[in-house]
Amino acid sequence: MTNFINKHIKWVFSLPALIFMIGMVAVPIVMTFVFSLNDWNLLLGNGMKFNWGKNYLDVLTGKEFWQSLGITFYYTALATVAEMMLGLSIALILNKNFLGKNFVKTVVLLPYMMAPVAVGLMWMLFYEPSSGLMNYIFTSVGLPRSVFVSAKQTVIPAIAAVETWQMTPMVVIVCLAGLSSLPAEPMEAAKVDGATPLYTFFKVTLPLMTQTLFSIGLLRFIDVFKSFDLIYAMTKGGPANASRTLNLFAYETAFSYYKFGLSSAMLMILFVIVLLLSVLVMKIQRKLVSYYGG
């Protein structure tokens, strides 16, 4: 027995993690796929009935699905781009030495430590149209009042701003780690050649950070794309379904209308979309890293 363990020691140590991954990831995915191929409505009191993938046809031909998918992409694009730009900018500042740097780091990281539901409820108070903090700030600087999450036109940007506020620290942490690991020689060579800080950033720092930025960007894209708790805590998909992302639509279909087959089909489509986009981003990443000599 001891010889067997010594011979397969790498599998012995990785087996617990493999079992956990199978139980917590693979099994739920397979079960969701099985549910998606069945007509399963608890309101009718019937068990699952195989329907040859009709759920997928019903989902893909439904107008509400495409509306929710469009909202999901809109929300994801706003939040991810804002987080990446703001996170990299803050990381570049924090990468310098200045008085009170550790205190600023602590303040920047505080939102990331809060629960999304608590953040959503807190910002709902800030967004309150008549007496909220945000409209007080707006009027103080001469800007018009906003209804934020109470209007269809502003609800997604308002929630994306909260997502950005909370999750940008994660981007800052990763970008800081990437900046600290960059070789000093290219920076020094650019400085000796008389390159401006802006030129050095775009021609030296940014290309060297390509792999780091794509990695954290992909992680944030996936996380925002499947976001649920923050949006549900703030609007529950309203007003008039203007913030009902695909995750919220699937949740509503399952737990409001008890159509678990349709809901599972939506989640499988969501899974495939994220998988395909992830593969595409990783291919682009490999080409860019190879192009820049990473």
pLDDT digits (tens, 9 = 90+) for 166-212: 999 999 999 998 988 888 888 888 888 777 888 888 888 888 888 88
Ordered domains of the chain (ranges, CATH): 62-120+146-291 (1.10.3720.10)
Name the average pLDDT for the chain. Answer: 88
Q: Is residue 44 over pLDDT 80?
A: no
Per-residue pLDDT tens over the stretch 248-288: 999 999 998 889 999 999 999 999 999 998 888 888 877 77
Conformation bin of residue 236: beta by default, left when phi > 0, alpha when psi is -120 to 50 = left
**What pLDDT score does 290 carry?**
63
The percent of residues above 70 in pLDDT, for the chain, comes to 94
Q: Is residue 68 over pLDDT 60?
A: yes
**What pLDDT score does 8 carry?**
64
Sequential DSSP letters for the chain: -HHHHHHTHHHHHHHHHHHHHIIIIIHHHHHHHHHHTEE-BGGGT---EE-TTHHHHHHHT-HHHHHHHHHHHHHHHHHHHHHHHHHHHHHHHHTS--TTHHHHHHHHHGGGGS-HHHHHHHHHHHT-TTT-HHHHHHHHTTPPP--GGGSTTTHHHHHHHHHHHHHHHHHHHHHHHHHHTS-HHHHHHHHHTT--HHHHIIIIIHHHTHHHHHHHHHHHHHHHHT--HHHHHHTTT-STTTT--HHHHHHHHHHTS-BHHHHHHHHHHHHHHHHHHHHHHHHHHHHHHHHTT-
Distances (CA, A) of 91 to 44, 77, 131: 55, 21, 34
The region of weakest confidence among 42-46, 72-76, 162-166, 219-223 is 42-46
Terminal-residue alpha carbon distance, the chain: 45
**What pLDDT score does 289 carry?**
64
Q: Is residue 231 over pLDDT 90?
A: yes
**What pLDDT score does 220 carry?**
93
User: pLDDT tier at 293 (50, 70, 90 boundaries)?
Assistant: low
